[in-house]
Amino acid sequence: MRITFYGVRGSTASPGPDTLKYGGNTSCVYVELESGKHLILDAGTGIRKLGQVLALKKDDPIYILLSHGHWDHIQGYPFFVPIYQPDRRIRVMTPDPLGHSQLCSLFEQMDGSSFPITAKDLLSDGECINENVEDYLKKEQIQVERKELNHPGEESLTGSRKMV
């Protein structure tokens, strides 16, 4: 397993000389499994750079796990190059135990108003998985474990306070 941090900031991206040590992008962690499968934790601004790397690899699918739908965890998705690649399979999921699709806000933010390209215009095969994350990934031979988030505004996360 190989883990790369493409974004570690919260709230807003903050590039510049003061953030050189840890980087200025918002939440995005890439896990390349020994099987070669791609697992991405959150889609903050760090996913843009990761997308440039993954665009060169044609391995499918790409699994994106969202901890929750705050902007700093989803705002990079429209700039993720693989979503513009024809037939690229991308599976987005959330550990929301209630199965709410609200965290598939990655697609909802691409509505033509908030972003000029709509989700239905994407060339990739993107899907929001609404079933139990652990069960879905187990079928894909990926094992994950939930951990509690320590995050401001927990009450607004409505049952989604756990991160895979």
Q: What are phi and psi of 157, to 5 degrees?
A: -85, 0
pLDDT bracket for residue 59 (50, 70, 90)? confident
pLDDT at 84: 95
State the distance between the two ends of the chain, measured CA to CA, in whole angstroms: 16
Per residue in 64-80, pLDDT (tens digit) is: 998 887 888 889 999 99
Helix (H, G, I), strand (E, B) or coil at 109: coil
DSSP assignment of 29-63 equals: EEEE-TTS-EEEE--STTHHHHHHHHTT-----EE
Looking at residue 119, what is its pLDDT? Answer: 83
- Listed residue (13, 69, 75) closest to 44, CA to CA: 75
Closest CA to 98 of 137, 136, 133: 133
For the chain, helix, strand, coil in percent to 5 are 25, 20, 55
- pTM attached to this predicted model: 0.85
The helix/strand/coil state of 71 is: helix
pLDDT for the residue 102? 55
How many helices and strands in the chain, by DSSP H and E?
4, 8
Amino acid, single-letter form, for residue 4: T
DSSP state of 146: -
Quick check: helix, strand or coil at residue 16? coil
pLDDT at 160 over 80: no
Tell me, what's the pLDDT at 18?
Answer: 85
Q: What is the pLDDT of residues 119-129, one digit of tens each?
A: 889 999 988 88
